[in-house]
Chains A and B, each alone.
Chain A
Amino acid sequence: MLKSDGGVAAAIAAAVLLNARYVPIGISVAGGFVGNALRRFGEAQLMVDESWAISIGGERFDRRLLVGAGSLIYLAWIVGTALGIVGGGAIGNPNRFGLDAAFPALFLALLAPRLRDRRAFLAAILGGGLAAALIPVARPGIPIVAASLACLVGARR
């Protein structure tokens, strides 16, 4: 990324933009965090797309699930990175096993039960539509942040 995008600043901007989605993601579950600010700061770091999605799979946000799943994912990431450095060539591209198809399926499976609610359905259609429309024109990261605007369907008139 550093070489292709010309300059350190551009690389930083692109990466920060990619992670900007954690602001709306964090807001969506903020009410479920407990303890002092330092603890909330620490636990919030365990929020990745997958641990967040799993933690909201039930009736309401499960903070312990976020912490558990988030810790596991970080651990797996560290082990995976180490294995990749040591013997990555032996496994080859993990996408051969459809790993890249597993993530959208996970998100869809966790979204599906919410679609029975009419407004949640609208928010999903609008959010997904916004993201899809912006993919070809906006830098990666922006489509997801923009999709949070779809939550406006939540406002009762």
Chain B
Amino acid sequence: MSGVWIAVIAVSGATLLLKAAGPVVLAGRELPRTARELVDMLAPALLAALVVTNEIGGDRRYVFDDRLIGLAAAVVAIRLRAPLLAVVVVAAAATALARAV
């Protein structure tokens, strides 16, 4: 078996377990109040981290490019209370436009 297939199988297996860890172990369990309060704050912390890493994250370096134009446009759209899909389309369109000119 080639190295590529070993890697594919190992990574797939590990990812199955990483994804299942929370839902399999913790579901249906009554957590103490402090734990619940911590878990509630995971969503905003992770969403913010996903914004940052998808926006400027490279391999151990920052990447600043036209995605930032899209993010600025998204901020405006969010402030104007545009629906979710509109925010996403506006961000993509603004970045596409910036890349085209």
By the criterion CB–CB under 8 Å, are A30 and B44 in contact? no
Cβ contacts under 8 Å, B11 to chain A: 12, 15-16, 19
By the criterion CB–CB under 8 Å, are B84 and A109 in contact? yes
Question: Closest Cβ of chain B: how far from A145's Cβ, in Å?
Answer: 9
By the criterion CB–CB under 8 Å, are A45 and B56 in contact? no
State which of B23, B74, B94 has its C-beta within 8 Å of the C-beta of A108: B74
By the criterion CB–CB under 8 Å, are B6 and A121 in contact? no
By the criterion CB–CB under 8 Å, are A140 and B92 in contact? no
Question: How many Å lie between the Cα of A100 and that of B56 in the bound state?
Answer: 11
Contacts A8-B6, A12-B7, A154-B37; A22 near B84 (Cβ below 8 A): no
Question: How many Å lie between the Cα of A108 and that of B14 in the bound state?
Answer: 29
Question: Closest Cβ of chain B: how far from A1's Cβ, in Å?
Answer: 8
Contacts A107-B47, A108-B74, A125-B48; A135 near B62 (Cβ below 8 A): yes
State which of A21, A49, A97, A107 has its C-beta within 8 Å of the C-beta of B96: A97
State which of A23, A136, A155 has its C-beta within 8 Å of the C-beta of B62: A136
State which of B25, B34, B51, B66 has its C-beta within 8 Å of the C-beta of A107: B51
| Interface locus among A32-40, A72-80, A83-91 | A32-40
Question: How many Å lie between the Cα of A156 and that of B23 in the bound state?
Answer: 25
Question: Closest Cβ of chain B: how far from A144's Cβ, in Å?
Answer: 5
* Size category of the binding interface on chain B: 35 or more
Question: How many Å lie between the Cα of A127 and that of B44 in the bound state?
Answer: 8
Interface residues of B in 9-42 (CB under 8 A from A): 10-11, 14-16, 18-29, 31, 34, 37-42
Interface residues of A in 23-79 (CB under 8 A from B): 23-34, 37, 40-41, 43-45, 47, 49, 53, 56-57
Residue among A96, A128, A137 having the largest count of chain B Cβ atoms under 10 Å: A128
Contacts A30-B26, A47-B19; A143 near B44 (Cβ below 8 A): no
Interface residues of A in 109-124 (CB under 8 A from B): 109-112, 114-115, 119-121, 123-124
Residues of B that sit less than 8 Å from A by CB = 3-4, 6-7, 10-11, 14-16, 18-29, 31, 34, 37-62, 66-67, 69-71, 73-75, 77-78, 84, 87-97, 99-100
Interchain residue pairs with CB less than 8 A apart (12): A12-B10, A19-B14, A26-B19, A27-B26, A40-B27, A103-B54, A104-B91, A105-B92, A120-B44, A143-B53, A153-B41, A154-B39
